[in-house]
Structure 1
Amino acid sequence: MRLTMRTNLAMRVLMACAVNDRHMVRRADIARVAGASENHLAQVVHHLSLHGFVDTIRGRSGGMSLARPAEEISIGQVFRQFEDVVPFAECFSRGENTCPLAGACRLRVALKSALDAFYSELDGISLADLVCDNAALEALLALPQTAPRFAMECAPRH
């Protein structure tokens, strides 16, 4: 299994917004610190905005920020928004399935079960789990306008 570039970029955007919580983050800044193209990020940010993960403001003092607390953003939700567009295997596509084995093949059932387990695992991980108390990530993604330590309040771990 391999994640699409869009999912990878979506996670970079969300982590950058979470690390720089309470600040507007500009696409150009994320592109610079996350090693990404601004054009690719524009598409990803638009998709994240459409699905309620980030709020965006246009203009000179615009940018983006998390649309809800990082604790409420499930990594499984994010992955589904970006990965479900591309069927995992040909037999998962209703309209484009030309596999002659589709009616008899049990591999589809096994793959579906594995994907369900994969997403179930990601559903239990929040964006906050990825960024809270992660000094190495903060060092990579903190932008100049943010405080030296996380602005985001990290809940105590259980």
Structure 2
Amino acid sequence: MRLTTRTNLAMRTLMFCAANPDRIVRKREVADVCNASENHLAQVIHLLAQKGYLRTVRGRAGGLMLGKSPDRISVGAVFRQFEATLPFAECFAGEECNCPLVGACRLKRALAQALDAFYAELDGVTVADLMRNNTDLTSLLKVA
């Protein structure tokens, strides 16, 4: 399993905002630290804001900040938001599935159980958990 770039950027953005809780951060700052294009990051920020994970402020002094407390942002929920639209394997693609084995194969069930366990584990982790006592990460993400 490999996470999409969008999911990775979503988590980096949330951690960046959590490391800078007392200020509005700029998209450019996040992009620089997270080694991302501002255009790609803008799409991620937009979706995070739509889902309430971020609050955006328009204008000259604008930017972004967490829309919820970091202890209320579940990593599993964020992953679901960003990964849910992509089928894990062809057999999860519904009508677009062309696999000739789909009617008899038991792999889909095993994969579904594994994905459920994966998300269940991540549901128990919050952005606050990722940041708590993590001085190395905080120092990498903190804006001076």
Task: Decide: shared fold, TM above 0.5.
Answer: yes
CA-to-aligned-CA distance 1:68-102 (integer Å, 9 cap, x gap): 10000000000000011110001111131111111
Q: Distance in 2 between matches of 1:8 and 1:109?
A: 27
- From the two aligned structures, give the one with the greater helix fraction: 2
CA-to-aligned-CA distance 1:102-137 (integer Å, 9 cap, x gap): 111000000000000000000000000001211101
Alignment-derived partner of residue 75 in structure 1: 75
Alignment-derived partner of residue 32 in structure 2: 32
Q: Distance in 2 between matches of 1:63 and 1:57?
A: 5
CA-to-aligned-CA distance 1:2-22 (integer Å, 9 cap, x gap): 000000000000000000012
1:127 aligns to 2:127 (yes or no):
yes
Unaligned runs of 5+ in 2: none
Alignment-derived partner of residue 45 in structure 1: 45
1:138 aligns to 2:138 (yes or no):
yes
CA-to-aligned-CA distance 1:17-68 (integer Å, 9 cap, x gap): 0000121011000011111111110000001011111010111100111111
Normalised by the length of structure 1, the TM-score is 0.89
Alignment-derived partner of residue 10 in structure 2: 10
Q: Distance in 1 between matches of 2:132 and 2:58?
A: 28
Q: Distance in 2 between matches of 1:95 and 1:77?
A: 26
Unaligned runs of 5+ in 1: 145-158
Q: Distance in 2 between matches of 1:22 and 1:83?
A: 30
Q: Distance in 1 between matches of 2:51 and 2:97?
A: 28
Query: Map of 1:76-91 to 2, 5 A cutoff?
Result: 76-91=76-91
Q: Which runs of 4+ in 1 moved over 3 A?
A: none
CA RMSD of aligned residues (A): 0.7
